[in-house]
């Protein structure tokens, strides 16, 4: 017999047969045993948990729940529920010092921050009840549509916990992806381009997609409440969220704004809260703008 054939077909077949017999015997001779589970992961392996594949596999989805939020203004959002996010956070967390951080925008000329792109500044229309939360990163002169798409990239290893596809008449964030970083912070990328905006569009990462720092998230766009092509970047922490929920000032703000003012947003330029991404964003600062990143909670 051809030995290659022997190993290819006969050996697996014999092994399976032997396994079947063994299982049957065991089953017949002994009282039913609970099904064998895979060996518990050693603590040494937890560092790589769920980071060996591009999407969370069905076995890792145990206890995690994705919900579709059709009531979300202006589109459909799919996201892990809060409990799942907390579970994921525990599983993937790693201190800042052990992680690589990258700029959320691929390096291109003509990237800059606008004065009203400053976190917590008032909007250009002077609407003080809805302060501008987050940081606007502009990628083209006069914020026109860039001829070539500008890539948004994961600033740190993490997992996509939310994605939103906007309707045409979305009046808020437009197409959006939220990444839970291994640093425990959440990064939201708002106003992302539509698939039809560029001929070589890249698919929006779905909930559960695992990313390495620098992986493509999408292209800078102008969907949602804007006519200007830019990335509205939001950085959120659980600590800031807890502080805001205990703050009368923030609670009032949230009720006035009627939107996501209470999601734990921090100033992406504030290294103390936003972490190393603040350094990655430094290269965009400049010109006449004062971007010190001052921000503190007020009562
Ligand atoms: Zn913005």
Burial group, residue 45, by CB count within 10 angstroms (0-12, 13-18, 19+): exposed
**Has residue 153 got a pLDDT over 90?**
yes
CA of 23 to the centre of ligand 1 (A): 61
pLDDT value, residue 270: 84
User: pLDDT digit string (tens) for 201-214?
Assistant: 888 999 999 999 99
Q: pLDDT by residue (tens digit) across 58-70?
A: 888 888 999 998 7
Ligand 1 centroid, distance to 93 Cα (angstroms): 28
Q: What is the mean pLDDT of residues 228-251?
A: 89
Ligand 1 centre and the CA of 172: distance in Å? Answer: 10
pTM above 0.75, yes or no: yes
CA of 7 to the centre of ligand 1 (A): 62
| 292 secondary structure, DSSP code | -
Domain 55-284 part of CATH 2.70.70.10: yes
* pLDDT at residue 21 greater than cutoff 50: no
**Across 237-254, average pLDDT:** 87
Q: What is the mean pLDDT of residues 115-122?
A: 55
Residue 27 scores a pLDDT above 50: no
| Domain residue limits, the chain | 1-33, 55-284
Q: How far is the CA of 70 from the centre of ligand 1 (A)?
A: 23
Q: Which range is most confident: 7-16, 17-26, 64-73, 78-87? A: 78-87
Residue 33: how many CB atoms within 10 A of its CB? Answer: 8
Q: How far is the CA of 103 from the centre of ligand 1 (A)?
A: 17
Instruction: Report the pLDDT value the prediction gives residue 224, as an integer from 0 to 100.
Output: 87
| Section 237-247 average pLDDT | 91
3-state SS class at 143 = helix
**Could you tell me the pLDDT band of residue 285, with boundaries at 50, 70 and 90?**
low
Higher pLDDT, 101 or 3: 101
Band of pLDDT at residue 286, cut at 50, 70 and 90: very low
- If pLDDT is split at 50, 70 and 90, which confidence band does 228 have? confident
For ligand 1, the distance from its centroid to the CA atom of residue 127, given in whole angstroms, is 13
Q: How far does residue 225's CA lie from ligand 1's centre (Å)?
A: 9
Output the pLDDT for position 28.
Answer: 39
pLDDT over 60 (residue 185): yes
Band the pLDDT of 29: cuts 50, 70, 90.
Answer: very low
In contact, 79 and 73? CB cutoff 8 Å: no
Given a contact cutoff of 8 angstroms between Cβ atoms, the answer to whether 171 and 224 are in contact is: yes
Average per-residue pLDDT in the chain?
Answer: 76
Q: What DSSP element (H or E) covers 152?
A: strand 151-153
Q: What is the distance in A from the centroid of ligand 1 to the CA of 152?
A: 15
Q: How far apart are CA 56 and CA 209, in angstroms?
A: 7
Q: How far is the CA of 119 from the centre of ligand 1 (A)?
A: 8
Distance 39 CA to ligand 1 centre (A): 48
Between the CA of 120 and the centroid of ligand 1 the distance, in Å, is 10
Residue 224 CA neighbour count, 13 Å, CB half: 23
Tell me, in angstroms, the distance from the centre of ligand 1 to residue 227's CA.
Answer: 11
For residues 1-27, average pLDDT: 45
Is residue 176 within 8 Å of residue 165, measured between CB atoms? Answer: no
In the predicted model, what is the mean pLDDT of residues 226-251?
89
Q: Judge residue 95's burial from the number of C-beta atoms within 10 Å of its C-beta, 0-12 exposed, 13-18 middle, 19 or more buried.
A: exposed
pLDDT at 118 over 80: no
Q: Is residue 86 over pLDDT 80? A: yes
Q: What CA–CA distance (Å, rounded) separates 163 from 204?
A: 8
Cβ(123)–Cβ(244) below 8 Å: no
| Listed ranges 94-103, 111-120, 249-258; the one with the highest mean pLDDT | 94-103
CA 230 to ligand 1 centroid distance, Å: 8
**156 vs 109, more confident:** 156
Average pLDDT over residues 151-178: 88
* Consecutive H or E run containing 189: strand 186-192
What is the pLDDT at residue 110? 59
- Give the pLDDT score at 299: 24
pLDDT value at residue 269: 82
């Amino acid at each position: 017999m051809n030995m290659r054939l022997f190993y290819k077909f006969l050996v697996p077949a014999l092994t399976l047969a032997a396994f079947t017999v063994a299982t049957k015997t065991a089953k017949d001779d002994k009282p039913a045993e609970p099904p064998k589970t895979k060996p518990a992961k050693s603590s040494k392996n937890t560092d790589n948990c769920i980071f060996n594949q591009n999407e969370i596999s069905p076995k890792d989805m145990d206890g995690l729940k994705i919900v579709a939020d059709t009531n979300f203004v202006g589109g459909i959002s799919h996201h892990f529920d809060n409990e799942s996010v907390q579970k994921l956070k525990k599983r993937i967390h790693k201190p800042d010092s052990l992680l690589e951080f990258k700029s959320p925008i691929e390096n291109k000329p003509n990237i800059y921050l606008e004065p009203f792109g400053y976190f917590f500044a008032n909007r250009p229309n002077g609407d003080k009840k809805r302060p501008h939360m987050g940081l606007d990163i502009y990628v083209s002169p006069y914020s026109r549509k860039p001829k070539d798409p500008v890539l948004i990239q994961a600033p740190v290893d993490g997992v996509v916990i939310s994605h939103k596809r906007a309707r045409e008449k979305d009046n808020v964030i437009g197409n959006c992806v939220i990444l839970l970083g291994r640093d425990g912070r959440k990064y939201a990328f708002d106003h992302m381009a539509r698939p039809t905006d560029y001929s070589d569009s890249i698919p929006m990462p779905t909930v559960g997609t695992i990313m390495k720092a620098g992986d493509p998230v999408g292209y800078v766009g102008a969907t949602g409440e804007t006519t200007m092509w830019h990335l509205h970047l939001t950085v959120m922490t659980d600590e800031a969220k807890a502080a805001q929920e205990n703050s009368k000032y923030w609670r009032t703000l949230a009720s006035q704004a009627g939107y996501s003012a209470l999601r734990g947003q921090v100033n992406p330029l504030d290294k103390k809260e936003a972490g190393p991404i603040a350094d990655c964003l430094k290269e965009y600062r400049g010109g006449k703008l004062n971007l010190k990143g001052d921000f503190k909670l007020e009562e």
